[in-house]
Amino acid sequence: MASATAVPVSSATLPLAIDALVKRFGALTAVNGVSLEVQAGECLGLLGPNGAGKSTTIRAIVGRVIPDSGRIAIFGARADTNAARSALGWVPQELAVYPRLTCKENLIAFGRYHGLSGKQLSDSVAWCLDWAALQDRANDLAMKLSGGMKRRLNMAAGIIHRPRIVLMDEPTAGVDPQSRNRIFEMIEALRKQGTAIVYTTHYMEEAERLCDRIAIIDHGQIIALGTKEELVHNAFAARSQVTARFGGSEARIVDWVQRHGGRMVEGVAEFSIERSIEIGALLESAAKDGLDLEDVSLRRPNLESVFLHLTGRELRE
- Residues in contact with another protein by the rule CB under 8 A: 25, 59, 62-66, 82, 85-86, 88, 90, 92-99, 110, 113-115, 157-158, 161
CA dihedral 217, 221, 80, 194 (to 10 degrees): -40
Given the complex with another protein, which of 45 and 63 has the nearer CB atom? 63
Q: How many Cβ atoms sit within 10 Å of the Cβ of residue 277?
A: 8
φ, ψ at 20 (rounded to 5°): 50, 50
Smallest distance, another protein to C-beta of residue 85, A: 6
Given the complex with another protein, which of 59 and 309 has the nearer CB atom? 59
Smallest distance, another protein to C-beta of residue 157, A: 7
Given the complex with another protein, which of 98 and 184 has the nearer CB atom? 98
Rounded Cα distance between 199 and 170, Å, is: 7
Smallest distance, another protein to C-beta of residue 8, A: 25
Given the complex with another protein, which of 1 and 287 has the nearer CB atom? 1
Smallest distance, another protein to C-beta of residue 224, A: 27
Smallest distance, another protein to C-beta of residue 29, A: 14
The answer to whether the CB of 21 falls within 8 A of the CB of 34 is: yes
Smallest distance, another protein to C-beta of residue 92, A: 5
DSSP string, 57-109: HHHHHHTSS--SEEEEEETTEETTSHHHHHHEEEE-SS--S-TTSBHHHHHHH
Given the complex with another protein, which of 66 and 189 has the nearer CB atom? 66
Given the complex with another protein, which of 137 and 150 has the nearer CB atom? 150
Rounded Cα distance between 317 and 300, Å, is: 22
Alpha helices in 97-245 (DSSP H): 103-113, 118-131, 147-158, 177-192, 204-210, 228-236
The answer to whether the CB of 271 falls within 8 A of the CB of 252 is: no
The answer to whether the CB of 158 falls within 8 A of the CB of 120 is: no
